[in-house]
Structure 1
């Protein structure tokens, strides 16, 4: 949303963007129901995996633009895991390249679905670099997208991800996690010990619906997924806030206890 103010002595206008939060209580959805919801979207809703990943990645890219506009630093490190969460990160990297950022992708374990190969080709065609050196690239990055593990993560962590998560835990570079801070359990939040026990990204974007882990999260929280039908919303008893304008994301507030 914008407020327009005419300036005296000319036709110039000033656009002041202001932040508003949705403070309604959001119901969370379990990992089992999240998987079932995705299946319903494809089996009954007519969506393909490609479409869902594109919508998710677009939401992620808009959240990055909201919290870290290009003027605050264009070098974005996108850490992608082998599953659909990583695919969301690849899509987000493509959109960010079109927005004027300079994304670099860390993708050590490519998923087997041919969709991931096509997403990589799209990035190569935009001259988006891939790196095998997460630690070195992190040192020159202005922002990080954590798209390693999502709602289906069950552990344990396998190489090279324990070291990657430890580096994200220690860095002062701002991080946005996609659907879940990597290493967190969807139901019980951060691990009690080991990599990720103290990992608290600055921003979380929940895709489609918030997950139970959100009650442990204390940063800025966005919801992405402006495509659910009334039938899906009712079937899973979801609370969906109103999305402003043409935005694919909406920021949701948390109370003093960190609960939605």
Structure 2
């Protein structure tokens, strides 16, 4: 007796597979409900990740830095860059965001870019960031010994700047070494990609004296200052945040597509572009 192959028969009604897929699809996220968190909430979320959820600083830096690199690569593909085979400048500050920048630079190198790192002040997480610096050096990433004083030197040499100077803990104004750095970066005409909070801004408010990036990569959840972001791209990197922590802080965040570690958020600019034309044309 011949064996019957079940694969030859279909017991599903025509069109039912498509219908089931549509029924199981998640509803589209309503961006008008998107959560923006305060500096205090960001600090408490970070503390809970470290204590209640047993993450450590290195893990969080790695996850945030990898997310930042992926978002940057999505917006600015290396194959479309015109200067020096994907040359970019990664500016790292003295705190947590500086560590994120070092991780971001390493991953961008592995993605095929040519990062140069500016890291003038050792982090208050010195042992961790020493290790992150050594990892960058092992991939032959150059470190600048001084920051270019003229903006044209930056835009003539690099395709974009990753701003990982200051994060959500920063409170304006910018002081000391970094004041002149930010003044120079404000004059460059290549894209700036800011990690979590544009440098010079506070976590809860924008600042005309700070950077005005083209890409903002929010980490874990957008900070309140992101409501005032007027750039071209806004991404969220925070797939590591446990669902129970989202619920505790009553966060409304969009789902991540597929296996991506980042999700694109709507910006003020994209929302305005979607508004109907009052002229009726």
Is TM-score (shorter-chain normalized) higher than 0.5? yes
Change (3 A) 1:238 1:213: same
Partner of residue 157 from structure 2, selected from 136, 140, 143 = 140
TM-score, length basis structure 2: 0.79
Q: Which residue of 2 aligns with 1:26?
A: 34
Q: Which residue of 2 aligns with 1:163?
A: 180
User: Larger RCO: Structure 1 or Structure 2 (Cα < 8 Å, ≥ 6 residues apart)?
Assistant: 1
Partner of residue 62 from structure 1, selected from 70, 84, 88 = 70
Q: Radius of gyration: which is bigger?
A: 2
SS at match of 2:55: coil
Between Structure 1 and Structure 2, the one with more strand by share is 1
The structural deviation recorded for 1:125 is: 0.6
Bigger mean CA offset, 47-56 vs 160-169: 160-169
Unpaired runs of at least 5, structure 1 = 1-20
Instruction: Provide the aligned C-alpha RMSD in A.
Output: 1.8
SS at match of 2:103: helix
The answer to whether the 8 A contact 1:223-1:251 is kept is yes
Which structure 1 residue ranges, 4+ long, deviate > 4 Å from structure 2? 255-259
Partner of residue 204 from structure 1, selected from 216, 236, 243 = 216
Bigger mean CA offset, 49-58 vs 250-259: 250-259
Bigger mean CA offset, 22-31 vs 79-88: 22-31
Is 1:186 the counterpart of 2:194? The answer is no
Q: Which residue of 2 aligns with 1:7?
A: none
Q: Which residue of 2 aligns with 1:71?
A: 79
What are the residue-to-residue correspondences of 1:75-90 with 2, within 5 Å? 75-90=87-102
Between Structure 1 and Structure 2, the one with more helix by share is 2
Deviations 1:26-48 (A, max 9, x none): 11110111011011001000100
